[in-house]
Amino acid sequence: MFKDNDGNSIMKFLKRELKPKAKLLTPFNLISIPIILLGLGLIVIRFWKGLGAITNLTQEVPWGLWIGFDVVTGVAFAGGAYVVTFMVYILNMKEYRPIVRVTVLNGFLAYAFYTGALLLDLGRPWNVVNPIIGNNFGTSSVLFLVAWHFLLYMLAELIEFSPAIAEWLGAKRATKILSGMTIGAVIFGITLSSLHQSGLGALYLMAKDKIHPLWYSEFIPVLFLVSSVFAGLSMVIFEGSISHKVFYDQMSEKNIKSQDGIIHGLAKICSVAMFAYFFLQFLVFLHDRNWEYLNTPMGYWFLVEMIGFVFTPMLLFFYSYRLNNIFLIRLAAVLTMIGVILNRLNVTVIGFRWDAATHYIPSWMEIVVTLAVIFTEIWIFRWVVRRMPVLRESPVWAKHDHD
């Protein structure tokens, strides 16, 4: 049943598609290939000798870079998918349609790879199915909730993206059926996202005495949810500006034309979301009576995060929107992303056990494995974009299904 337009068999089709479609000797490949290989070697050592062999984790700081950056920060950046699908499918903002597929693909791959990184961090990964099969259902656990919402959300995103796969394979009937499932998957996906984005913050609620008071509050879940909106959209802006250069040949004319308008709209949403977030942070700060901590090194660090990487990019987004300046928007997006990384790491790593005698600093091996995970994800992303109708238009026969 799977025949492409030339009538070749599926095997021949796959064989052709698996071949590289662009130059192999690019600077990105030259950097990423050795790091991925080194990362694979380190992963072998990790499973052979235990987590302690390549990580600097301690009994007091049992979660480090792989959770704090790969999972908690990575998932915040993947938040663009639920925001954009909300705008396009629920609010029917048609002008953002060109970025839906690429954002969903980004989100799906982010989740797939961060779950992968999570498996590296699990001491006993062979038991990872236990909360799914009921050995046992730890329903009182925030992590149980996050695990299930992760799993179901990946399924929802796969369904959202599946029409692109079906179009690539030339499966007309499947395209039609899968497109029909999109709206259900979107509604399901937004609900799941709102809960696991906040759930990642809720994970740290019981670590009340361990996290610096400037970053701990009972509102962590809400703060994480609100910040995932602009974290995700900044990632969309950032990724869009790179795709614009790297995959220019893939983008349809319509797509290229609409880009500036989309980026402007996203900048506007970011500035509003960041204002809400900044205001909420301020209320939490007042509510918890945290003035006494401000005039300490951690207090200055807090101000750097809040003023430098929330307030400043918020203003930049606002003014660049008014001034119609794409460069400023991209700058604001980068600053915002740094701010989100800082915030997530401050909660999970830097502010965690801030008062301990010795601090956890990730080993170079943890960093290499993290980079290897990110690079592998980019490789897969690139592979998919060059083959499936992600940035380019869908084939003509599939058009009527989504317009």
Partner 1 sequence: MGFDRRNFFRTIGVAGVTLAVGKSFGSVTTKDNIVEFQAMLYDSTRCIGCLACERVCAKVHNLPEPPEGLKAGVVRKTTETQRVAINNCNTSKGEVFVRKSCMHCNEPACTAACLTEAMHKTKEGPVIWRESKCMGCRYCMVSCPFDVPKFEFHSANPKIQKCDLCYDRIKEGKIPACAEACPGDALTFGTRRELISEARKRIFENPKDYINQIYGEEVAGGTGLLYLSSAPFSEQGFDPKIQNSSYPALTKGFLYSVPSVDVLLPPLLLGIYAATKNNHSKEEDNE
The binding site for partner 1 (CB under 8 A) comprises: 47-53, 55, 57, 59-60, 62-63, 86, 89-92, 94, 121-125, 127-128, 130-131, 135-138, 140-145, 147, 183, 186-188, 190-191, 194-195, 198-199, 202-210, 218, 221
Closest to 193 (Cα-Cα) out of 345, 81, 71: 81
* Shortest reach from residue 192's CB to partner 1, in Å: 8
Structure tokens at 277: 């977030």
* Shortest reach from residue 283's CB to partner 1, in Å: 17
When the beta carbons of 269 and 331 are compared against partner 1, the nearer one is 269
* Shortest reach from residue 11's CB to partner 1, in Å: 38
Q: What is the 3-state secondary structure (H, E, C) of the chain?
A: CCCCCCCCCHHHHHHHHHCCCCCCCCHHHHHHHHHHHHHHHHHHHHHHHCHHHCCCCCCCCCCCHHHHHHHHHHHHHCCHHHHHHHHHHHCCCHHHHHHHHHHHHHHHHHHHHHHHHHHHHCCCHHHCCHHHHCCCCCCCCHHHHHHHHHHHHHHHHHHHHHHHHHHHHCCHHHHHHHHHCHHHHHHHHHHHHHHHHHHHHHCCCCCCCCECCCCCCCCHHHHHHHHHHHHHHHHHHHHHHHHHHHCHHHCCHHHHHHHHHHHHHHHHHHHHHHHHHHHHHHHHHHHCCCHHHHCCHHHHHHHHHHHHHHHHHHHHHHHHHHHCCHHHHHHHHHHHHHHHHHHHHHHHHHCECCCCCCCCCCCHHHHHHHHHHHHHHHHHHHHHHHHCCCCCCCCHHHHHHHC
Q: Answer whether 189's CB lies under 8 Å from 160's CB.
A: yes
When the beta carbons of 57 and 166 are compared against partner 1, the nearer one is 57
- The gap from C-alpha 224 to its chain's centroid, in whole angstroms, comes to 13
When the beta carbons of 179 and 194 are compared against partner 1, the nearer one is 194
When the beta carbons of 219 and 309 are compared against partner 1, the nearer one is 219
When the beta carbons of 35 and 365 are compared against partner 1, the nearer one is 365
* Shortest reach from residue 371's CB to partner 1, in Å: 22
* Shortest reach from residue 398's CB to partner 1, in Å: 20
Side chain identity, residue 47: F
When the beta carbons of 142 and 237 are compared against partner 1, the nearer one is 142
Distance in angstroms (rounded) separating the CA atoms of residues 112 and 83: 19
When the beta carbons of 122 and 304 are compared against partner 1, the nearer one is 122
When the beta carbons of 24 and 91 are compared against partner 1, the nearer one is 91
* Shortest reach from residue 97's CB to partner 1, in Å: 12
When the beta carbons of 216 and 309 are compared against partner 1, the nearer one is 216
* Shortest reach from residue 317's CB to partner 1, in Å: 25
* Shortest reach from residue 127's CB to partner 1, in Å: 4
* Shortest reach from residue 93's CB to partner 1, in Å: 9
* Shortest reach from residue 63's CB to partner 1, in Å: 6
When the beta carbons of 219 and 230 are compared against partner 1, the nearer one is 219
